[in-house]
A and B are shown apart, each in its own frame.
Chain A
Amino acid sequence: MTSDGRYRLAIRQPILESRSESVDGFLKDVLSRNDGNPTTDSRFRLVLHTSTDPVAAGQLRRVFRDRRRQLRDEGIGYFDNMQLQKMDRYERWISHLGPSDDVEAAFQESLRAGTDERMQKLERQATRRQLMMIASSDVFFGHQLRKSDDIGAPLPTSMRTLRSVVEALGPAEVEAVIHRYSPGLSFAGMYQTYAEAGGTADPGAAAGLWLGRGDLDVERWKEHLHETVGIRSVRILDCPAGNSVSDGIAVLETVDIRLRRAMLPLDDEHRSLGRRRLSLRGSQILARINRSEPSKLQVKKAQKWVMSEFSGSATAISAETTRFIAGL
């Protein structure tokens, strides 16, 4: 608690001044990962992870989620994009309603409801800098793809969430890590995500927009993270276009060896993730189905069908898409 009577972590107000359930959920999640598991790293670090290939990012998130226990055993807390999006939704709610007595009352109520002790504990842990969180998300850096014409454009709300985190912890304690895959695999992943989100354009049109605008230019992302979000340390990890899941994890050891220890070797199910990707043609078929505006149920059926009939390995899809891009 600070001298003015407020908790130090209350500088995270954009995140924590939320409905009590959000505060509870946030704290519970963070604390449950760290209880009784002192880390071997004395620094407190928040590592934000993303990838040029959103499909690879999603696959890696799956491994992170499934290996939470092992990560915790290594002293690593994991916080995934769903939780961040939850905060983001709250943020939008706040920005829509504006600060009010009700918001403050909800915050006070959450303290009375028992978060007081947990916040102090979190503060102690943060002070000891024993907590490291990996927040893996493909929505951070502006390539969340939308059905509308703003495909590929930065998402202001995600940037706001990021800024909130950075402002709360201080820029020195936040790092960003970007997995850089081959342009072919990255474009295929972007286009698959776009089609799965309801996009209707053919890959030629999407490529014209995204590649023309430099959406796959990681140096541009880096600049954006430095200047817009305020993250000082941005690390780019190059990945060959092989088995995207294990390759992606292997290079994470340069961030922290404990990540590799907690996540490798992969089990069969995780290994097979790399084979569950839509080919560029499969994504295009899905985009064309979207054009007819089928019902939500029909869209779900269509997604399941294209994945069963038009999927492939990262290697094959990278090659297919590289040829496609070369032919543009």
Chain B
Amino acid sequence: MVTNLSSATTCILHLGAHKTGTSLIQKFLRDRPEAVDQLGAAFISRSDTNQLIGWGAVPRQDPGLLKDATNAVAAGVDFVIVSHENSLGRPLIPGKSGLYPEADRAIEGIRNAVELPAKVIYYIRAQADFVESYYLQTVHQGSYASFRDWVATIDLDDLSWEPLVSSLDSRFGSENVVIADFAFIEAGQNAFIERFLDLIKPGHGIIPDYSAKRNLSISQLGLDIALAINPLLESADERRTTRKFLQRHFNNSRSPRPELLNPEQKSALQDRYGDENRNLIRPTVEVA
């Protein structure tokens, strides 16, 4: 396939991490094509990126897929946006150390598969919140391991974001890598989206007014129920409907949040990684 690439077109690679508002960004870009137009961008849908990237191995095995897909929509736009939180593999893998232990190979594959000039946007999250949130995701996906058993498989002293950021820097060049802070979500959903758009194109003029509800997190009661009934579920559809049911009727908006990491563990993680996380974040870098 021969494509006349515009040197002015940049591929925005929004690669994660999990549990950092990636679904919100993806849904906004999907539901608001006028905003994508105003940004001068083309958005490759999240369902397409499942095929193009998967859990990070596809670009390495078949780089043409991602290359062709990004090149195909590059004409006439300033940005091609790819947003896929599974790009760098799974965050925690039993028996392997660190966050995203397979990220380095995945980053190499993506780098080689994207022909356009590329910029990476990557959100990081405080380790304690990340571990708890990811645990709840594993439960939504069908796991029924208690938090105590699950966290026992994780080395809490080996959860630095630094190796992953270094890998991104080495493949893409640090000037092309934005590390953003998920904590900005506290400013609100629309502010969070606006901030993401800022990172692509400062002064874009888009004022998001996006009312799609984020999935509520389950309460302690919801977690207890999920752990009790997950062993009985037999299909992905059943797990999906169970997750929706629990998020709707057993969420933490009125009931206590799950008690996962204890205060001492949280404090230890903050002491260990707090400063490092702050130093990794590059809020002033402009992508465009």
- Contact status A289-B228, CB under 8 Å: yes
Please report A residues at the B interface, Cβ cutoff 8 Å. Answer: 281, 284-285, 288-289, 291-292, 294, 298, 301-302, 305, 309
5 contacts between A and B (CB under 8 A): A288-B228, A289-B229, A292-B225, A294-B221, A294-B250
Residues of B within 8 A of A305 (CB): 245, 249
- Contact status A298-B249, CB under 8 Å: yes
| B212 interface residue per 8 A CB criterion | no
- Contact status B221-A285, CB under 8 Å: no
Rounded to whole Å, the gap between the CB of A323 and the closest CB of chain B is 15
> With A292-B221, A294-B221, A302-B249 as given contacts, are A309 and B241 in contact (CB-CB < 8 Å)?
yes
Binary A-proximity of B208-227 (CB < 8 A = 1, otherwise 0): 00000000000001001100
Residues of A within 8 A of B249 (CB): 298, 301-302, 305
| B232 interface residue per 8 A CB criterion | yes
Residues of A within 8 A of B250 (CB): 294, 298
Rounded to whole Å, the gap between the CB of A132 and the closest CB of chain B is 45
Residues of B within 8 A of A284 (CB): 232
Count of inter-chain pairs, beta carbons less than 8 A: 32
Please report B residues at the A interface, Cβ cutoff 8 Å. Answer: 221, 224-225, 228-229, 232, 234, 238, 241, 245, 249-250
- Contact status A285-B232, CB under 8 Å: yes
Rounded to whole Å, the gap between the CB of B92 and the closest CB of chain A is 27
Q: Which residue of B lies closest to A298 (CB)?
A: B249
Rounded to whole Å, the gap between the CB of A321 and the closest CB of chain B is 15
Contact for A309 among B224, B225, B228, B238, CB less than 8 A: B238
Residues of B within 8 A of A294 (CB): 221, 225, 250
- Contact status B228-A291, CB under 8 Å: yes
> With A298-B249, A309-B238 as given contacts, are A281 and B232 in contact (CB-CB < 8 Å)?
yes
Query: In the complex, A301 Cα to B221 Cα: how many Å?
Result: 14
Query: In the complex, A291 Cα to B228 Cα: how many Å?
Result: 9
> With A298-B249, A305-B245, A309-B238 as given contacts, are A292 and B224 in contact (CB-CB < 8 Å)?
yes
Query: In the complex, A305 Cα to B243 Cα: how many Å?
Result: 12
Contact for B232 among A288, A291, A302, CB less than 8 A: A288
Rounded to whole Å, the gap between the CB of A299 and the closest CB of chain B is 10
Rounded to whole Å, the gap between the CB of A296 and the closest CB of chain B is 12
> Do most interface residues of chain A lie in helix, strand or loop, or is the interface mixed?
helix
- Contact status B241-A288, CB under 8 Å: no
Rounded to whole Å, the gap between the CB of B46 and the closest CB of chain A is 26
Rounded to whole Å, the gap between the CB of A293 and the closest CB of chain B is 8
Q: Which residue of B lies closest to A297 (CB)?
A: B249
Rounded to whole Å, the gap between the CB of A93 and the closest CB of chain B is 37
Q: Which residue of B lies closest to A200 (CB)?
A: B228
Q: Which residue of B lies closest to A294 (CB)?
A: B221
Query: In the complex, A298 Cα to B232 Cα: how many Å?
Result: 20
Residues of B within 8 A of A289 (CB): 225, 228-229
Q: Which residue of A lies closest to B241 (CB)?
A: A309
Q: Which residue of B lies closest to A308 (CB)?
A: B241
Residues of A within 8 A of B225 (CB): 288-289, 292, 294
Query: In the complex, A281 Cα to B242 Cα: how many Å?
Result: 14
Residues of B within 8 A of A309 (CB): 238, 241
Residues of B within 8 A of A301 (CB): 245, 249
- Contact status B245-A288, CB under 8 Å: no
In the complex, besides A301-B245, A309-B238, 9 extra interface pairs with C-beta distance below 8 angstroms are A281-B234, A288-B228, A289-B225, A289-B228, A291-B224, A294-B225, A298-B249, A298-B250, A305-B249
Query: In the complex, A294 Cα to B228 Cα: how many Å?
Result: 13
Rounded to whole Å, the gap between the CB of B199 and the closest CB of chain A is 40
Query: In the complex, A309 Cα to B232 Cα: how many Å?
Result: 13
Q: Which residue of B lies closest to A301 (CB)?
A: B249
Q: Which residue of A lies closest to B220 (CB)?
A: A292
Rounded to whole Å, the gap between the CB of B232 and the closest CB of chain A is 5
> With A292-B224, A294-B221, A298-B250 as given contacts, are A285 and B245 in contact (CB-CB < 8 Å)?
no
Query: In the complex, A284 Cα to B230 Cα: how many Å?
Result: 12
Query: In the complex, A284 Cα to B229 Cα: how many Å?
Result: 8
Residues of A within 8 A of B232 (CB): 281, 284-285, 288
Query: In the complex, A175 Cα to B234 Cα: how many Å?
Result: 46
> With A292-B221, A301-B249 as given contacts, are A285 and B229 in contact (CB-CB < 8 Å)?
yes
Residues of B within 8 A of A298 (CB): 221, 249-250
Query: In the complex, A287 Cα to B225 Cα: how many Å?
Result: 10
Residues of A within 8 A of B228 (CB): 288-289, 291-292
Query: In the complex, A302 Cα to B249 Cα: how many Å?
Result: 9
Query: In the complex, A66 Cα to B225 Cα: how many Å?
Result: 37
Query: In the complex, A153 Cα to B229 Cα: how many Å?
Result: 27
- Contact status B221-A288, CB under 8 Å: no
Q: Which residue of B lies closest to A285 (CB)?
A: B229
Rounded to whole Å, the gap between the CB of A55 and the closest CB of chain B is 20
Residues of B within 8 A of A291 (CB): 224, 228
Q: Which residue of B lies closest to A293 (CB)?
A: B221
Q: Which residue of A lies closest to B238 (CB)?
A: A309
Query: In the complex, A284 Cα to B234 Cα: how many Å?
Result: 13
Query: In the complex, A284 Cα to B225 Cα: how many Å?
Result: 12
> With A294-B250, A298-B249 as given contacts, are A288 and B229 in contact (CB-CB < 8 Å)?
yes
Residues of A within 8 A of B229 (CB): 285, 288-289
Residues of A within 8 A of B224 (CB): 291-292
Rounded to whole Å, the gap between the CB of A280 and the closest CB of chain B is 10
Query: In the complex, A302 Cα to B234 Cα: how many Å?
Result: 18
Query: In the complex, A210 Cα to B249 Cα: how many Å?
Result: 33
* Among B221, B229, B234, B245: residue with most chain A CB under 10 A: B229
Residues of A within 8 A of B238 (CB): 309
